[in-house]
């Protein structure tokens, strides 16, 4: 898989205070690559630097130092921007345009001819689940979720190779979230790379191939989601359920959580070697094994671990 986004040592200081003399470091030496054809989840708590990163990639903000490339071209190369899509956090558009007019406007910016623009606008507004009766309504009469949908439709008007979505699920009701989740999965199907920031971890688990977690502007973790969640090697813990043995028989296995469960025993052990010990004790006592299951770290646990200020 080829690299589609390459971020090298990116930092951003916002100048704040009355004389703009104080500096707030929003991004701190961020280096990150995103491979094409996947859904990449960009995670981090409030103020971690997600929007700042995306705005720098979109050339809406200048970095204080560092570089970034999209599709092999430097982010300052304006030609590259015709091949990418962007849906901002809390999309805000000119209020007096209707959804159709807005789509037409963006289509025109990308040089799409009139008939094609109209066709594509209808296709996309349908895809994001905006009812046809609302297409000719002014955006100032739209709810937050409806604006979010128009923002998404707009970001896809030029059939981009990669689309950057900053909190695409915010403001959506459960039905809307499901529709947009399907839309995003559909983008990957047809080969569009998706770079999305979100706080909704269930969406990340359902959609993302790889993730990066930001903390205070720094990269706290990145990689394949499954690899990050499998707590790996010796630290892998297991739940073992057995029958026909008394709970006390397992007291010799250090660190094991033992729970009597109905007529059996449920054990949480800390290693594969301990699973072996459980099997041996159970066998010797004439009991039997019911199940062994590996306990994966949840994304929520990983997120809390990587973004909390403890350590």
| Binding-site member from 22, 47, 109, 206 for ligand ATP (CB under 6 A) | 47
Q: Supply the minimum distance, in Å, between the C-beta of residue 11 and ligand ATP.
A: 12
Cα dist. 121→84, 125, 307 in Å?
17, 6, 39
Per-residue x/- track, 36-55, Mg ion (CB under 5 A):
--------------xx----
Question: Which one of ligand ATP, Mg ion, none is in contact with 105 (Cβ closer than 5 to 8 A by kind)?
Answer: none
Of 46-54, 107-115, 168-176, 255-263, which part binds ligand ATP (CB under 6 A)? 46-54
Q: Supply the minimum distance, in Å, between the C-beta of residue 265 and ligand ATP.
A: 44
Q: Is 282 in the site for ligand ATP (CB under 6 A)?
A: no
| Binding-site member from 10, 39, 41, 51 for ligand ATP (CB under 6 A) | 51
Q: How many residues bind ligand ATP (CB under 6 A)?
A: 13
Of 21-29, 88-96, 113-121, 294-302, which part binds Mg ion (CB under 5 A)? 88-96
Of 41-49, 93-101, 241-249, 260-268, which part binds ligand ATP (CB under 6 A)? 41-49
Burial (CB < 10 A; 0-12, 13-18, 19+), residue 76, is exposed
| Binding-site member from 6, 14, 138, 209 for ligand ATP (CB under 6 A) | 14
Q: Supply the minimum distance, in Å, between the C-beta of residue 130 and ligand ATP.
A: 24
Q: How many residues bind Mg ion (CB under 5 A)?
A: 3
| Binding-site member from 5, 43, 48, 270 for ligand ATP (CB under 6 A) | 48
190 CB-near residues (< 8 Å, 6+ apart) = none
Q: Report the phi/psi class of residue 191: left, alpha or beta, with left for phi > 0 and alpha for psi in -120 to 50.
A: left
| Nearest CB to Mg ion, comparing residues 45 and 264 | 45
Q: Is 269 in the site for ligand ATP (CB under 6 A)?
A: no
Q: Is 52 in the site for ligand ATP (CB under 6 A)?
A: yes
Q: Is 284 in the site for ligand ATP (CB under 6 A)?
A: no
Exposure string over 256-274, b if 16+ CB within 10 A, otherwise e: bebeeeeebbbbebbbeeb
Per-residue x/- track, 71-110, ligand ATP (CB under 6 A):
------------------x---------------------
> Cα separation of 277 and 282, whole Å?
8
| Nearest CB to ligand ATP, comparing residues 14 and 135 | 14
Q: Is 148 in the site for Mg ion (CB under 5 A)?
A: no
Of 40-48, 131-139, 151-159, 257-265, which part binds ligand ATP (CB under 6 A)? 40-48
* Contact footprint for ligand ATP (CB under 6 A): 14, 16, 24, 26, 44, 46-52, 89
């Amino acid at each position: 898989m080829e690299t589609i986004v390459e971020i090298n040592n990116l930092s951003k200081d916002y100048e704040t205070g009355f004389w703009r003399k104080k500096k707030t470091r929003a991004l701190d030496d961020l280096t990150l690559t995103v491979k094409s054809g996947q859904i990449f989840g960009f995670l981090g708590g409030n103020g971690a630097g997600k929007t700042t990163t995306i705005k720098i990639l979109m050339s809406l903000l200048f970095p204080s130092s560092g570089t970034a490339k999209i599709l092999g071209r430097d982010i300052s190369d304006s030609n590259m921007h015709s091949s990418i899509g962007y849906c901002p956090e809390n999309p805000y558009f000119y209020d007096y345009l209707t959804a159709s007019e807005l789509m037409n406007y963006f289509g025109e910016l990308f040089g799409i001819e009139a008939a094609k623009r109209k066709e594509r606008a209808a296709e996309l507004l349908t895809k994001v689940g905006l009812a046809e009766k609302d297409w000719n309504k002014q955006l100032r009469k739209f709810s937050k979720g409806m604006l979010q949908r128009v923002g998404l439709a707009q970001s896809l008007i030029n059939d981009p190779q990669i689309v950057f979505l900053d909190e695409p699920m915010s403001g959506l009701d459960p039905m809307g979230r499901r529709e947009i989740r399907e839309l995003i999965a559909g983008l990957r199907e047809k080969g569009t790379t998706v770079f999305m920031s979100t706080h909704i971890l269930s969406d990340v688990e359902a959609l993302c191939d790889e993730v990066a977690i930001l903390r205070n502007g720094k990269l706290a973790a990145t990689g394949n989601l499954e690899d990050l969640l499998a707590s790996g090697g010796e630290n892998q813990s297991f739940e073992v359920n057995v029958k026909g043995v008394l709970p006390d028989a397992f007291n010799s296995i250090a660190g094991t959580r033992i729970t009597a469960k109905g007529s059996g025993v449920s054990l949480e052990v800390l290693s594969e070697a301990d699973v072996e010990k459980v099997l041996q004790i159970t066998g010797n006592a004439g009991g039997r094994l019911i199940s062994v299951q590996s306990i994966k770290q949840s994304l929520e646990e990983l997120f809390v671990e990587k973004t909390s200020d403890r350590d």
